[in-house]
Structure 1
Amino acid sequence: MNKRIRYTLAAVALAVLAGCNPSVPSTAKQSATDSKNAAGSVNAVASLQVANPSAFARTETLYLPFADLGLLAAEASTLVATVDGKAIPSQQIDRSGDGQADTLFVQLDVAAASRQSLTISDDPALSNQSNWPARTQAEISHKVGGEWQDAKYSGGSFQNVSELTPPAQYTDHSEWIRYEGPGIESDKVGYRIYLDWRNGFDIFGKKTSELVLQDVGQDGYQSYHELADWGMDILKVGKSLGAGGYGYWDGEQVQLVSEVGQHTAKVIENGPLYSALQIHYKDWQIAGKTVDLTADLSMTAGSRLVNTRLNLSEPLENIAIGLVKLPDTKLLQGTVNITGHAWTYIATWGNQSLSAPDSKLGMALLFKRGQLLNQTEDNNSHVAVMRPAGTELEYYFLAAWDGEPAGISSEAEFVQYLEQQAEMLTLTPRQTLKTTLGATQKAGPLTAEVALNWSERLAQSEMTRQTPFYAYGGWDYERKRPSKWEYTTGLQLQAYDDLLKLRPNPEWQQVLTDVIDSFVTEDGDIRTYKVSNYNIDSLNTGNMLLRKYQRDPKPQYKQALDLLRQQLAEHPRTSEGAFWHKKIYPHQLWLDGVYMGMPFLASYSKAFEQGHAFDEVVKEFTISRDKLRDPTTGLYYHAWDEAKEQNWADKETGLASQFWGRGLGWLAMALVDVLEIIPEQETELRQPLLDMAAELAEALVKVQDPASGTWYQILDKPDAPGNYLESSASSMFTYFFAKGVNNGYLDARYKETAVKAFKGLVDEFILVHPDDSVSLVNTVQVAGLGFGRDGSYDYYMSEPLFRNDAKANGPFIMAGVQIAKLLNSAKE
Structure 2
Amino acid sequence: MDLNLQEQAVRVFDYMRKDYPGRWGLDLNAWDWVPGVGVTAIADYGHRTGRQDVLEFVLGWERRNRVKSAGGKVINSIVPYAVYAPLYRHTGDSYYMEASHRLAEWLLNEAPRTRERAFEHTVTENAEFPEQVWADTVFMAVLFLARTARLTGSADYAAEAVQQTLIHLQLLQDRETGVLFHGWNCISANHMSAARWTRANAWIALGLPEILHEIRGLTNIPPELTDRYKRMMEGIVRFQQDDGLWSTVMDRPDFYRETSGSAGIACGIMRGIREGLLDSGLRPAADRAFQAVLGRIAADGEVLGVSGGTAVLATVDAYNAIPCYPTQYGQGLTLMLLNSFLTKIE
Question: Which TM-score applies when normalising by structure 2?
Answer: 0.90
CA distance in 1, matches of 2:207, 2:148: 15
- Tell me the CA shift for residue 696 of structure 1: 1.5
Post-superposition CA distance 1:299-331 (Å, at most 9, x none): xxxxxxxxxxxxxxxxxxxxxxxxxxxxxxxxx
- Tell me the CA shift for residue 713 of structure 1: 0.3
Equivalent position SS for 1:516: helix
Equivalent position SS for 1:735: helix
Equivalent position SS for 1:802: coil
Q: Does 1:815 align with 2:346?
A: no
Equivalent position SS for 2:190: coil
Q: Please, which of 705, 710, 726 is the counterpart of residue 241 of structure 2? A: 705
CA distance in 2, matches of 1:555, 1:501: 19
Alignment correspondent of 2:106: 567
Note the 1:518-667 alignment, pairs <5 A: 518-520=64-66, 526-531=67-72, 534-568=73-107, 569-582=109-122, 584-644=128-188, 653-667=190-204
Alignment correspondent of 1:751: 283
Change (3 A) 1:476 1:740: farther
- Tell me the CA shift for residue 505 of structure 1: 4.2
Note the 1:718-729 alignment, pairs <5 A: 718-719=253-254, 723-729=255-261
Alignment correspondent of 1:516: 62
CA distance in 2, matches of 1:636, 1:819: 26
Contact preservation (8 Å) 2:132, 2:185: yes
Indicate the structure (1 or 2) with the bigger Cα radius of gyration.
Answer: 1
CA distance in 2, matches of 1:617, 1:782: 25
Contact preservation (8 Å) 1:485, 1:529: no
Equivalent position SS for 2:133: strand
Change (3 A) 1:448 1:740: farther
Alignment correspondent of 2:298: 767
CA distance in 2, matches of 1:528, 1:747: 40
Of Structure 1 and Structure 2, the greater helix share is in: 2
Of Structure 1 and Structure 2, the greater strand share is in: 1
Alignment correspondent of 2:304: 777
CA distance in 2, matches of 1:497, 1:613: 22
Q: Please, which of 316, 321, 345 is the counterpart of residue 798 of structure 1? A: 321
CA distance in 2, matches of 1:528, 1:595: 18
- Tell me the CA shift for residue 607 of structure 1: 2.1
Residue identity opposite 1:713 in structure 2: T
Alignment correspondent of 2:36: 490
Equivalent position SS for 1:577: coil
- Tell me the CA shift for residue 686 of structure 1: 5.1
Alignment correspondent of 1:458: 12
- Tell me the CA shift for residue 704 of structure 1: 0.5
Question: Which TM-score applies when normalising by structure 1?
Answer: 0.39
CA distance in 2, matches of 1:486, 1:546: 18
- Tell me the CA shift for residue 791 of structure 1: 2.5
Note the 1:71-82 alignment, pairs <5 A: none
CA distance in 1, matches of 2:105, 2:28: 26
Change (3 A) 1:760 1:591: same
Contact preservation (8 Å) 2:197, 2:249: yes
Contact preservation (8 Å) 1:680, 1:686: no
- Tell me the CA shift for residue 462 of structure 1: 2.6
Equivalent position SS for 2:35: helix
Change (3 A) 1:820 1:508: closer
Alignment correspondent of 2:252: 717
Residue identity opposite 1:511 in structure 2: F
- Tell me the CA shift for residue 448 of structure 1: 4.3
Give the aligned length.
341
Post-superposition CA distance 1:118-151 (Å, at most 9, x none): xxxxxxxxxxxxxxxxxxxxxxxxxxxxxxxxxx
CA distance in 2, matches of 1:482, 1:498: 16
Unpaired runs of 5+ in structure 2? none
Equivalent position SS for 1:640: strand
- Tell me the CA shift for residue 558 of structure 1: 3.3
CA distance in 2, matches of 1:551, 1:686: 32
Equivalent position SS for 1:693: helix
Change (3 A) 1:500 1:609: closer
CA distance in 2, matches of 1:701, 1:733: 9
Residue identity opposite 2:333 in structure 1: P
CA distance in 1, matches of 2:147, 2:218: 16
- Tell me the CA shift for residue 638 of structure 1: 0.6
Residue identity opposite 1:570 in structure 2: E
CA distance in 2, matches of 1:718, 1:529: 43
Contact preservation (8 Å) 1:726, 1:780: yes
Note the 1:81-230 alignment, pairs <5 A: none
Contact preservation (8 Å) 1:490, 1:541: yes
- Tell me the CA shift for residue 506 of structure 1: 4.7
Contact preservation (8 Å) 1:492, 1:806: yes
Residue identity opposite 2:316 in structure 1: Y
- Tell me the CA shift for residue 476 of structure 1: 4.8
Q: Percent identity between the aligned chains?
A: 21
CA distance in 2, matches of 1:579, 1:681: 21
- Give the superposed CA RMSD: 2.5
Contact preservation (8 Å) 1:738, 1:751: yes
Contact preservation (8 Å) 1:661, 1:715: yes
- Tell me the CA shift for residue 762 of structure 1: 0.9
Change (3 A) 1:608 1:807: same
Post-superposition CA distance 1:307-356 (Å, at most 9, x none): xxxxxxxxxxxxxxxxxxxxxxxxxxxxxxxxxxxxxxxxxxxxxxxxxx
Q: Does 1:668 align with 2:205?
A: yes
Post-superposition CA distance 1:230-260 (Å, at most 9, x none): xxxxxxxxxxxxxxxxxxxxxxxxxxxxxxx
Change (3 A) 1:809 1:480: closer
CA distance in 1, matches of 2:48, 2:131: 42
Greater relative contact order (Cα 8 A, min sep 6): structure 1 or 2?
A: 2
CA distance in 1, matches of 2:46, 2:96: 21
Unpaired runs of 5+ in structure 1? 1-446, 470-474, 521-525, 645-651
Post-superposition CA distance 1:660-705 (Å, at most 9, x none): 11111111111111111111585x4153332222111211110001
CA distance in 1, matches of 2:322, 2:222: 36
Equivalent position SS for 2:302: strand
CA distance in 2, matches of 1:564, 1:582: 15
CA distance in 2, matches of 1:801, 1:726: 9
Residue identity opposite 2:110 in structure 1: E
Residue identity opposite 1:573 in structure 2: R
CA distance in 1, matches of 2:16, 2:241: 28
Equivalent position SS for 2:236: helix
CA distance in 2, matches of 1:478, 1:582: 18
Equivalent position SS for 2:70: coil
Equivalent position SS for 2:101: helix
Q: Please, which of 259, 262, 268 is the counterpart of residue 736 of structure 1? A: 268
- Tell me the CA shift for residue 756 of structure 1: 1.4
- Tell me the CA shift for residue 793 of structure 1: 2.2
CA distance in 1, matches of 2:83, 2:64: 13
Change (3 A) 1:455 1:783: same
